[in-house]
């Protein structure tokens, strides 16, 4: 569809209700791992572009993606 770009992305999610301290700790540990040259080399070798953000930024991104693709599905008349 004209005006849309689709990018494959992957994220690590925790169950709803996970204590904020645990989310913060996981986020920090993952950010450290993604700075490791060996980890980056493996991910990039598989075609990934490792990036980090924040839990709040990820939540906003997922919300925007859901809204965007819901519109696309409705506009295109896609059904199961």
What pLDDT digit, counting tens, does each position of 9-23 carry? 999 999 999 999 999
Structural domain count, the chain: 1
Sorting pLDDT into bands at 50, 70 and 90, what band is 5? confident
User: Is residue 61 domain-resident?
Assistant: yes
User: Is residue 3 domain-resident?
Assistant: no
Instruction: Write the CB contacts of 39 (distance below 8 Å, at least 6 apart in sequence).
Output: 33, 50
Q: Is the pLDDT score of 1 beyond 70?
A: no
User: Is residue 7 domain-resident?
Assistant: no
Domain that holds residue 57: 20-76
What pLDDT digit, counting tens, does each position of 20-79 carry? 999 999 999 999 999 999 999 999 999 999 999 999 999 999 999 999 999 999 999 999
């Amino acid at each position: 569809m004209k005006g849309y770009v689709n990018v494959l992305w992957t994220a690590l999610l925790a169950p709803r209700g996970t204590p904020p301290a645990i989310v913060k700790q996981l986020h920090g540990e993952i950010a450290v791992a993604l700075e490791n040259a060996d980890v980056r080399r493996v991910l990039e070798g598989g075609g990934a572009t490792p990036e980090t953000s924040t839990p709040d930024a990820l939540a906003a991104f997922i919300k925007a993606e859901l809204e965007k693709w819901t519109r696309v599905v409705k506009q295109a008349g896609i059904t199961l």
